[in-house]
Amino acid sequence: MELAWVLEGLRWRPESELEAMLARAVEASGGTAWPSEDVRVAPGDEGARELHLMRGEDALVGTPGAKERSTVLARLHAWASRVPTR
């Protein structure tokens, strides 16, 4: 099955159904889900290749490719500006 088809199908699911599916996938894979309001994009050096999403002392670290980096940063900052702060 093509991943693009799966993603397109998920896009049309009601939010509550998608959230339940993601929760099951996280549980089945032994992962951890963080509420978006608890996560922040960690500040970093402009030249740093790694991107950090932080929740307390825990971090999710990724290294997007050079071509994807600007898109990833733009989306993370757009997402971070939408999330209400406590």
- As given in the structure block, the two tokens for residue 31 are 């992962």
Distance between CA atoms of residues 28 and 15, nearest Å: 20
Helix or strand (DSSP H, E) at 4: helix 3-11
- As given in the structure block, the two tokens for residue 66 are 């050079």
Spell out the per-residue pLDDT of the chain, length 86, in tens.
787 888 888 889 998 998 899 899 999 999 988 888 888 888 666 667 888 889 999 988 888 888 888 888 888 878 777 755 54
Q: Has this prediction a pTM greater than 0.85?
A: no
Q: What is the longest distance spanned by two Cα atoms in the chain?
A: 41
